[in-house]
Structure 1
Amino acid sequence: MLTDYHNHLERGTLSLDYLTQFTNAAVERGINHFGISEHAYHFYQTKSILSNPWIEERRIYDMKDYVNLFYDAWNQNIDVKMSIEMDYTTGKHEEMNEFIKSYEFDYCIGSIHWIDDFGIDLAEFKTEWERRDLYTIYRRYYDQVESLAQSNLFDIVGHLDLVKIFNYVPKDEEFLLEQYDRATTALANSKTCVEISTAGLRKQTKSLYPDRKLLEMCYTKGVPIVFSSDAHVPEHVGADYDQAIKLARQVGYTTIMTFSKGERKEIRF
């Protein structure tokens, strides 16, 4: 039994034809629990939560069309979970909660892509890594991971150590482990699962999210996992799952969490 809960339609259309390219790929690759989790910033309904010039250029969808797409799929007996990936935004807990509660999501993913006006994983902002203090970036990133977990708004935290995407990593291992420790402690005290994401293998980091030591801390503290590919095209659904499964088993995991209409169930993989 496998999950792929983190996938996006944004490079195509919010259409049943495009959606079924993803669901067909999931079936072909033996993924039993598949979901679409479009970026929340694309939707007009999230303007009060996060707004900056980069995002406003990409705010193009209405949630009504998104929800209707899933109902069209379900009416045709297409097995797909409805989700959202939301940028965790400090100081916007009430607004995020109101948005999440407004829709019957099967689960919700919370992720961190921004430190103030700095899009940490965006090519357009890559030069900022040379201008800013690396240790401050990491500290502030994991500040947000900790707060995300403590908010208990999300079922899954996306790509837990996304901050390593361009291979800017502190050399001070003690500092790094301190960030991991506080993040995983907060996660362990929340309902939030961690995804083992293969997306990093397709990025400059060329590694899974999360790092093995970070995942080991998650396991030790009892944080549940899911598998995700973060596919933005159908070809990437379930990509490199052999590596994700191998890492999970090496660390000690034997089960993953599944979601349906907000209900969770732990199953063996």
Structure 2
Amino acid sequence: MIVDLHNHTTLCNHAEGSIEEYIEQAITNKTKYYGFSDHAPMKFDPKYRMDFSDMEKYEHNVLNAKEKYKDKIEILLGYEVDYLDGYMDERVLNSDVDYLIGSVHFIDKWGFDNPEFIGKYEEKDIDEIWQKYFDSIEDMAKSKLFDIVGHLDLIKVFKFLPNKPILEIAKKALLAIKEADMVIELNASGFRKPIAEAYPSLELLKYAYELNIPITFASDAHSPEQVGFSSQKLVEMAKSVGYKECAVFKNRKRQLIEF
């Protein structure tokens, strides 16, 4: 895939490999636009994100790499920001970046995609938590703080699926994404999880296409060998629905390119 905008660095405390190793793999993959969007700091769940004191280092390292590799690939700078009411920070939201990815990793402060807390699914009503998740996605879109929706249906990660039709649960969130003029990423990390499929599902992607919601692509790599993993599946999936263009961002401004 020629665009790959969601990737991490060791500063998030749960990734490995150097920035250069990620970029070299992207070059091997013939990627033209490669973005780092590491987990932004916030005063919650510090174990799985960079500290505020690391922001300058992170941005400096990515921009240095951008200059170093400018003749081989275009490097873009972003953050993946957790949408969690009361914890988002202006230092991140107003940072000088190319794009911001908005993601939901918490339902009532429960890290539902973290294997450490998988046991809590037994205590929950599955339809209720799916609805709460997509209500948060809807609220995130309505905030209009972000450019890209991260892994739209992450709630399916452990293959605990709802009884209600998924599109029925997710429809209002997708309409809010359309209204906010956001982009949805096709994220390959789901292929590495129990659900064993991309985020979003084909069903949700088809509805996004009906709504004319733009897409982009993402490895969501936490190690260099994950860069480009299952990328051809993502491209084929997008084309099967009807997509021919994907989004890239520079200074928070979107442009669409053919893929």
Query: Would you say same fold, with TM above 0.5?
Result: yes
Q: Which amino acid letter does the alignment assign opposite residue 206 of structure 2?
A: E
Does 1:227 find its partner at 2:220?
no
Q: What does residue 79 of structure 2 align with?
A: 84
Q: Which amino acid aligns with 2:82?
A: D
TM-score when normalising by structure 2: 0.91
> How many angstroms apart in 2 are the aligned matches of 1:66 and 1:135?
39
Are residues 1:160 and 2:158 paired?
no
Structure 1: how far apart are the matches of 2:66 and 2:194? Answer: 37
After TM superposition, give the deviation of residue 11 of structure 1 in Å. 7.4
1:100 aligns with one of 81, 86, 93? 93
> Per-residue deviation at 1:157?
0.6
| The one of 196, 220, 241 aligned to 1:251 | 241
Pick aligned residue for 1:140 from 132, 152, 158 = 132
Partner of 2:8: 8
Deviation of the 1:192 alpha carbon? 1.3
Cα distance in 2 for residues equivalent to 1:60 and 1:221: 35
TM-score by length of 1: 0.88
The CA deviation at 1:189 is 0.5
Contact 2:35 2:75 in 1 (8 A): yes
Look up the SS of the partner of 1:205 in the other structure. coil
**What is the CA–CA distance in structure 1 between the aligned matches of 2:146 and 2:49, rounded to whole Å?**
22
In structure 2, distance between residues paired with 1:119 and 1:12: 16
RMSD: 1.9
The DSSP-based 3-state class of the residue aligned with 2:99 is coil
1:50-107 Cα offsets, whole Å, 9 max, x none, are x2xxx13445532111122123223424431111001001255xx5455321x21111
Structure 1 residues 197 and 164: CA distance shift in structure 2, 3 A: same
Contact 2:11 2:50 in 1 (8 A): no
Paired-residue identity, %: 34
Gaps of 5+ in 2: none
| Counterpart mapping for 1:50-65 below 5 A | 51=44, 55-58=45-48, 60-61=50-51, 62-65=54-57
116-125 vs 2-11, which moves further: 2-11
